[in-house]
Amino acid sequence: MSHIVVTGGAGFIGSHCCVELLQAGAQVTVLDNFCNSKPEALHHIAKITGICPALAQLDLCDESAVSSFFAANSVDAVIHFAGLKAVGESCRIPLTYYHNNLTGTLHLLRAMAENGCKTIVFSSSATVYGMHNTAPFTEDMPTSATNPYGWTKQMIEQILMDTAAADPDWAIVALRYFNPIGAHPSGLIGENPNGIPNNLVPYVARVAEGTLERLSIYGDDYDTPDGTGVRDYIHVVDLAKGHLCALEYAKTHHGFEAINLGTGNGASVLEVLHAYEQACGKSLPYVIAPRHAGDIATSFADPQKAKSLLHWQAESDLLTMCKDSWNFTLQQHP
């Protein structure tokens, strides 16, 4: 049985990945400082799988804690989700973002290398495609960033590429996620951000539950079929499964590979809203607001590389994603 360390394993995507890993028979240790999650996530994982992952509660920025952990544990591979992820916040407190995401990753990689663990799957993002590429995005397109959060993803990809180039024992997969939404069908784990959500689907969920009055749609004059922004929404369970395929790939392929995880289909803001209305059985109020600075019109993946290298493709449709999000939302207020 392989021992997989999941940094950020108590978070939204990490918790879903822990479920898939445990169900596939892996031994899992969650490494998390709970700065954006709660220990209860581990109980929920245990409820779903019947197994509670081990916990190493520590901050990746604490170098001696990270190094002691890897010295004391035999680890086969790491899936590295831990990081701060709010774009707007990253513009307000860039140094916190650079420190947490970059320093944390450097400590992790050094501790791994020192202890002979050289397989890592990293949470990158479609944000690295920046403002100037045209969808569908392919992995060989030039990358860039428009905010500190995006720069941390871009810089970590560079660090990983250089690490793999310097030492051929490393097997590194950077997964570029498109827009993960939905929740586990059990309704036990999902995305429940503190305060007012920034992302579309968590915001729509709050409108559906009645805690926010209406959605503001950021622009209806884009060059898209209905004028609203188009994104590639992917079910978080599909996304989680992609990580297991990436681990499998890394067993036999050394070096660095960046791979998109998306469905290959774009959905507009209005299409998401209407799918959510269908899922929750209510009509959801909205207003058209000005475009959001930094938003692009259209983002969706070319998912071909994941299909050919990882033998993975997304399965859930938008309505299923919205139904699972709504099911999770309802269970937050029993």
Known catalytic membership, residue 286 = no
* 182 belongs to the binding site for ligand NAD (CB under 6 A): no
Residue 292 in contact with ligand UDP, rule: CB under 6 A: yes
Q: Which structure tokens are listed for 8? A: 């950020």
Q: Which of 216, 224, 304, 313 binds ligand UDP (CB under 6 A)?
A: 216
Burial class (CB in 10 A: 0-12, 13-18, 19+), 1: exposed
Interface pick for ligand UDP out of 295, 304, 320, 330 (rule CB under 6 A): 295
* Phi/psi of residue 28, nearest 5 degrees: -120, 130
Under the binding rule (CB under 6 A), the answer on residue 316 touching ligand NAD is no
245 near ligand UDP, rule: CB under 6 A: no
SS3 assignment, position 271: helix
State which of positions 149-188 bind ligand UDP (CB under 6 A): 179
CB of residue 305 to ligand NAD, shortest distance in Å: 17
Q: What's the CA gap between 61 and 315, in Å, rounded?
A: 36
Residue 24 Cβ vs ligand UDP, minimum distance, rounded to whole Å = 29
Helix (H/G/I), strand (E/B), else coil: 319: helix
Crossing angle for the helix pair 148-166 and 104-114, nearest 10 degrees? 20
Footprint of ligand UDP on 299-328 (CB under 6 A):
299
The distance of closest approach from Cβ of residue 137 to ligand NAD in the complex, given in angstroms and rounded to an integer, is 13
Backbone dihedral region of 264: left (phi > 0), alpha (psi from -120 to 50 degrees) or beta? left
Interacting residue with ligand NAD among 4, 5, 6, 8 (CB under 6 A): 8
For residue 229, state whether it binds ligand UDP (rule: CB under 6 A): yes
Contact mark string toward ligand NAD, 14..53, x via CB under 6 A: x-----------------xxxxxx----------------
Contacted entry of ligand UDP, ligand NAD, none for residue 81, CB cut-off 5 to 8 Å set by kind = ligand NAD
Long-range contacts of residues 209-215, Cβ cutoff 8 Å, at least 24 apart: 209/329, 209/330, 209/332, 209/333, 213/285, 214/284, 214/285, 214/286, 214/287, 215/273, 215/284, 215/285, 215/286, 215/287
Q: Which element (helix H / strand E) includes 14?
A: helix 12-23
- φ, ψ of residue 11 in degrees (nearest 5): -80, -175
Positions 24 through 83 that interact with ligand UDP (CB under 6 A): none
Shortest spacing between CB 283 and ligand NAD, in angstroms:
26
SS3 label, residue 177:
strand
* Chain center to CA of 105: 16
One of 97, 129, 149, 177 is an active-site residue; which one? 149
Binding flag, residue 56, ligand NAD (CB under 6 A):
no
Contacting residue, 29, 90, 119, 123, with ligand NAD by CB under 6 A: 123
* Element containing residue 251 per DSSP (H, E): helix 236-252
User: Quick check: helix, strand or coil at residue 77?
Assistant: strand
Q: With CA atoms as reference, report the closest residue to 261 among 108, 119, 104, 79.
A: 79
CB 289 to ligand UDP: min, Å: 7
Partner in contact with 200, chosen from ligand UDP, ligand NAD, none, beta carbon below 5 to 8 Å by kind = ligand UDP
Out of 109, 121, 174, 269, the only residue in the binding site for ligand UDP (CB under 6 A) is: 269
Positions annotated as catalytic residues are: 149
Binding positions for ligand NAD, rule: CB under 6 A: 8, 10-14, 32-37, 59-61, 81-85, 100, 104, 123, 125, 177, 180
Binding positions for ligand UDP, rule: CB under 6 A: 179, 198-200, 203, 215-218, 229, 231, 269, 292, 295, 299
